[in-house]
Amino acid sequence: MRFFLASLALVPSSSSPSATAFVVPSSSSTTAAAAKTATTSLDASKCGNYDYDVIIIGCGVGGQGAALHSRSQELSTAIFSSNDVGGTCVNCGCVPSKALLAASGRRVREMRATEHLGEFGIKDIILAPGSIPFVPPGVTVDEKTVYTSDGALELQSVPQWVAIIGSGYIVLEFSDVYTALSSEVTFIEALPNIMPTFDREIAKQAERLLIRDRPIDYRTGVFASEVTPGIPGVKPVTIKMIDAKTKEHVETLEVDAAMVATGCVPNTANMGLESAGIETSRGFVAVNPQMRVMTKHGDEGVVIPNLYCIGDANGKMMLVHAASAQGISAIENICGRSHTVNHDAIPAACFTHPEIAIVGPTEEQAIERAAKEGWTLGKSQGSFRANSKALAELEGNGMAKVLYNKESGKVVVVDIIGFHTTDLIQECANAVAAGTTVQELSMMVHTHPTLCEVLDEAFKGAVGMSAH
Catalytic residues: 448
Angstrom distance (rounded) from CA 362 to CA 228: 36
Other Cβ atoms less than 10 A from the Cβ of 289: the count is: 14
Q: From residue 232, how far is each of 160, 162, 185, 322 by CA, in Å?
A: 11, 12, 17, 39
Q: What is the dihedral of CA 53, 58, 62, 64, to 10 degrees?
A: 60
Residue 143, annotated as binding a ligand = no
Q: In what order do the strands lie in the sheet with 411-418?
A: 348-350, 355-359, 411-418, 399-405, 377-383
E strand spans, 13-59: 20-23, 54-57
Residue 298, annotated as binding a ligand = no
Could you give the 3-state DSSP secondary structure of residue 31? helix
Q: How many CA atoms lie within 13 A of 462 on its CB side?
A: 33
Residue 221, annotated as binding a ligand = no
Residue 172, annotated as binding a ligand = yes
Which amino acid appears at position 422 of this protein?
A: T
Residue 167, annotated as binding a ligand = yes
b/e string for 331-366 if b means 16 or more Cβ within 10 A?
Answer: bbbbeeeeeebeeebbbbbbebebbbbbbbbbbeeb
E strand spans, 196-256: 216-220, 222-228, 237-243, 249-255
Residue 319, annotated as binding a ligand = yes
First to last CA, the chain: 65
Residue 274, annotated as binding a ligand = no
Residue 312, annotated as binding a ligand = yes
Residue 171, annotated as binding a ligand = yes
Burial of residue 467 (CB within 10 Å: 0-12, 13-18, 19+) is middle
Residue 321, annotated as binding a ligand = yes
Angstrom distance (rounded) from CA 23 to CA 238: 58
CB 197 within 8 A of CB 262: no
Angstrom distance (rounded) from CA 8 to CA 302: 67
Residue 435, annotated as binding a ligand = no
> Strand pairing partners for 292?
308
- Tell me which residue of 396, 384, 404 sits closest to 462, measured CA to CA: 404
Tell me the angle at which helices 453-462 and 421-434 cross, rounded to the nearest 10 degrees.
40
DSSP string over 260-275: E-S-EEES-TTS-TGG
Residue 189, annotated as binding a ligand = yes
Residue 173, annotated as binding a ligand = yes
DSSP character at residue 106: I
Residue 55, annotated as binding a ligand = no
Residue 69, annotated as binding a ligand = no
Annotated binding-site residue numbers = 166-173, 189, 263, 312, 318-321
Annotated binding-site residue numbers for NAD(+) = 166-173, 189, 263
Annotated binding-site residue numbers for FAD = 312, 318-321
